[in-house]
Structure 1
């Protein structure tokens, strides 16, 4: 799938949403603002945040896997491997819709060692879910 990185999630998904209410949380305000930025300008932290919220997965997961291919433990604000963790923790239903991305991610995590116990646990859960589907 070719993604026009000069376009925003709003444009790519053809879904412009109303501005959040004044009392919205910082997370909601941030996610809303990120949806209007060109996807090619999103940082590792931006990808992590949006993916954790299940926002724009058909567009953002391929971009995240691309980052992870080169830097499996890429980090945003939450620490080493936080993008990988965000991607790994999507539901098995997501991976059944995106089997090629699941295969690529399986290859990426297969080459990792010396992971934290939490990240190792997420890798094992992901591999179990993908293999059983």
Structure 2
């Protein structure tokens, strides 16, 4: 199934059950993730994808969108720093990537093509995370 065909649908529609409204005392992050589940996939911004991936929400649907962006701009600054979307993606569970082997292979190729100088500017531990992901093929 091509998950990119569902760009006009939301995670609440595609990834049941629908979530209940967050509790009144929910954190900003919890409220944000709940709200993102109600936005059509095609309207999610890079920062939204990074948030959802980091929170492990809707991975079968948001990882393909992230990879699509990362193929064009591997070190995309989604919100916090250059490469934050890439690092969120490689930190997704192996089980999520196992369901998306072609995308994982494409992302590995992108990582392997990164210049060493670009990787050294990433946060501490990022190079090891990228190597770990790239070596699991």
Q: Distance between the aligned counterparts of 1:106 and 1:97, measured in 2?
A: 15
TM-score w.r.t. length of structure 2: 0.88
Residues 89-120 of structure 1, C-alpha deviation per residue, up to 9 Å, x if partnerless?
11222222221111111111111012135322
Instruction: Kindly indicate whether the alpha-carbon contact (under 8 Å) linking 1:3 and 1:59 is maintained by their aligned counterparts in 2.
Output: no
Moved beyond 6 Å, runs of 4+ = none
Q: Distance between the aligned counterparts of 1:12 and 1:109, measured in 2?
A: 29
RMSD: 1.3
Which blocks of at least 5 consecutive residues in structure 1 are unaligned? none
1:104 aligned residue (100, 103, 106): 106
1:126 equivalent in alignment to 2:115: no
Residues 31-89 of structure 1, C-alpha deviation per residue, up to 9 Å, x if partnerless?
00000001111111000000001100000111100000011011122110000000001
Counterpart of 2:60 in structure 1 is 58
Counterpart of 1:8 in structure 2 is 10
TM-score w.r.t. length of structure 1: 0.91
What is the Cα deviation at residue 121 of structure 1? 1.7
Which blocks of at least 5 consecutive residues in structure 2 are unaligned? none
Q: Distance between the aligned counterparts of 1:13 and 1:92, measured in 2?
A: 19
Number of equivalenced pairs: 130
